[in-house]
Amino acid sequence: MFRCGRCSELLEVVYPGFEDRLRNDAANLKQVWQQRRLSSAPEDVSGVWRFRELLPQVEPQHVVTMGEGNTPLVSLQKTARALGLHHLLIKHQGMNPTGSFKDTGISAAITMAKAEGFSCVCCASTGNTSASVAAYAARGGMKSVVLLPSGQVTTGKLAQALEYGAHVLQLQTDFDGCLRLLEQLVQKLPIYLLNSLNPYRLEGQKTVAFELMEQLNWQVPDHVIVPGGNLGNSSALGKGFLELRDLGLIASVPRISVIQAAGANPLVRSMRETGGKDLIPVNPETRATAIRIGSPASWRKAVAVLKNTGGVAEDVSEDEIAAAKADLGAEGIGCEPASAATLAGLKKLVRSGFVKCDETVVLVLTGHMLKDIDYVAQMHGPRLAQPVEANAATVLSALEKIYAKS
């Protein structure tokens, strides 16, 4: 059961008495978390369970972990200069065990499934959730079933789900259709749903806020920018920052902004046309297949995060996403198209004056570049010259041309 019986809204995890219990201990918590970095116990190595004081309480033997989280924070100097910004960083969640940010949420939710005695888990997915669910189910000794929109999931993500032994059903519908169906089916079968309707997913994903703050030495950035699809991630990130503030671990929260592809922009339209009161579902179309979602489940939570943190929702074109992805690539940072939407959005937000040059900005890159190599091949295909004859004279002449250009 993931929805309120009265109003049908999604549930949220709350911790009664949590602030009173932890507030006096806030400074101590920072130290405890820091010290766990020296431990080799799996629940301390995990970038999720290391923060277990702010998570649902579980027995250590139920924790399903592969050392998720612990992802790099890297500064983007060339891009920052080009945009006139002083401080621009990326938090690369594509460096998680299965190559996307989903692993933090799946570790948390599948641990709850194990603690509750489930032997089978499931999800609908644009690809990354299915890869993560399949892998973590295998680690936890559970079966997994994944519903995918047929023909709309990249080969790399599909390959992961298959490799990790998921039962894969490709349906003739889009992601929204898969999720609607699954929400009904789990009422009838003893299968545990791992989509972000499941509030424990958000508990795992909120830890990126804690880890980021540690990496920034608890100096709050002005802006954090995430891509938006089903809107679980933006909701989780907001929850994480707001909890840190309520506990007194940080004095203020960053503005959290959400970027969608122009062809899959229901949150942006909802904000523009109704001020976030109603969702305006769209028929989604974008080459950033991870965020090809027209009716996001967590839209209300995401609207609340925008309002509570002072962030905005913005959309970007396919060309803007491709250009941003190329900019990141030119700095040695690979990611999938959905992740590059954050930089495309930032460019617009700098132009509009919402982001100012002396502000610190963190872009959350959500998926690894190798998740979508067809996109890369299409982008760079023309740059691949014909094969060159393998003799010194021909290679030398080719190299001389490269030198002459640089």
Among 295, 339, 342, 360, binds ligand F0G (CB under 6 A): 339
- Residue with Cβ nearer ligand F0G (142 or 313): 313
Q: Does 276 bind ligand F0G (CB under 6 A)?
A: no
CB 154 within 8 A of CB 289: yes
Window of 10-18, 30-38, 223-231, 354-362 that interacts with ligand F0G by CB under 6 A: 223-231
Q: Which residues in the 364-403 window bind ligand F0G by CB under 6 A?
A: 366-367
Window of 111-119, 231-239, 343-351, 391-399 that interacts with ligand F0G by CB under 6 A: 231-239
Question: CB 367 → ligand F0G: shortest distance, Å?
Answer: 3
Question: CB 93 → ligand F0G: shortest distance, Å?
Answer: 8
Q: Does 228 bind ligand F0G (CB under 6 A)?
A: yes
Among 97, 149, 156, 229, binds ligand F0G (CB under 6 A): 229
Rounded to an integer, what distance in angstroms lies between the CA atom of residue 328 and that of residue 330? 5
Nearest CA to 127 among 322, 296, 371? 371
- Residue with Cβ nearer ligand F0G (79 or 132): 132
- Residue with Cβ nearer ligand F0G (86 or 307): 307
3-state secondary structure the chain: CCECCCCCCECCCCCCCHHHHHHCCHHHHHHHHHHHCCCCCHHHHCCCHHHHHHCCCCCHHHCCCCCCCCCCEEECHHHHHHHCCCEEEEEEHHHCCCCECHHHHHHHHHHHHHHCCCCEEEEECCCHHHHHHHHHHHHHCCEEEEEEECCCCCHHHHHHHHHCCCEEEEECCCHHHHHHHHHHHCCCCCCEECCCCCHHHHHHHCHHHHHHHHHCCCCCCCEEEEECCCCHHHHHHHHHHHHHHHCCCCCCCCEEEEEEEHHHCHHHHHHHHHCCCCCCCCCCCCCCHHHCCCCCCCHHHHHHHHHHHCCCEEEECHHHHHHHHHHHHCCCCCCCHHHHHHHHHHHHHHHCCCCCCCCEEEEEECECHHHHHHHHHHHHHHHCCCCCCCCHHHHHHHHHHHHHHC
Question: CB 129 → ligand F0G: shortest distance, Å?
Answer: 4
Angstrom CA distances, 4 to 8, 12, 17, 109, 291, stand at 5, 10, 22, 19, 26
- Residue with Cβ nearer ligand F0G (254 or 296): 296
Q: Does 97 bind ligand F0G (CB under 6 A)?
A: no
Question: CB 335 → ligand F0G: shortest distance, Å?
Answer: 8
Question: CB 136 → ligand F0G: shortest distance, Å?
Answer: 13
User: Counting Cβ atoms within 10 Å, is residue 402 exposed (0-12), middle (13-18) or buried (19+)?
Assistant: exposed
Q: Which residues in the 104-123 window bind ligand F0G by CB under 6 A?
A: none
Q: Does 233 bind ligand F0G (CB under 6 A)?
A: yes
Q: Does 266 bind ligand F0G (CB under 6 A)?
A: no
Q: By CB under 6 A, how many residues form the interface with ligand F0G?
A: 22
Q: Which residues in the 156-175 window bind ligand F0G by CB under 6 A?
A: none
Question: CB 341 → ligand F0G: shortest distance, Å?
Answer: 8
- Residue with Cβ nearer ligand F0G (33 or 210): 210
Q: Does 65 bind ligand F0G (CB under 6 A)?
A: no
> Scanning the structure block, which residue is given the tokens 């460019």?
347
Angstrom CA distances, 341 to 156, 257, 335, stand at 20, 12, 10
Q: Does 186 bind ligand F0G (CB under 6 A)?
A: no
Q: Which residues in the 120-149 window bind ligand F0G by CB under 6 A?
A: 125-129
Q: Which residues in the 291-330 window bind ligand F0G by CB under 6 A?
A: 291
- Residue with Cβ nearer ligand F0G (65 or 129): 129
Q: Does 198 bind ligand F0G (CB under 6 A)?
A: no
Among 160, 196, 309, 342, binds ligand F0G (CB under 6 A): 196
- Residue with Cβ nearer ligand F0G (83 or 264): 264
- Residue with Cβ nearer ligand F0G (341 or 361): 341
Task: List interacting residues with ligand F0G (CB under 6 A).
Answer: 100, 102, 125-129, 196, 227-233, 290-291, 336, 338-339, 366-367
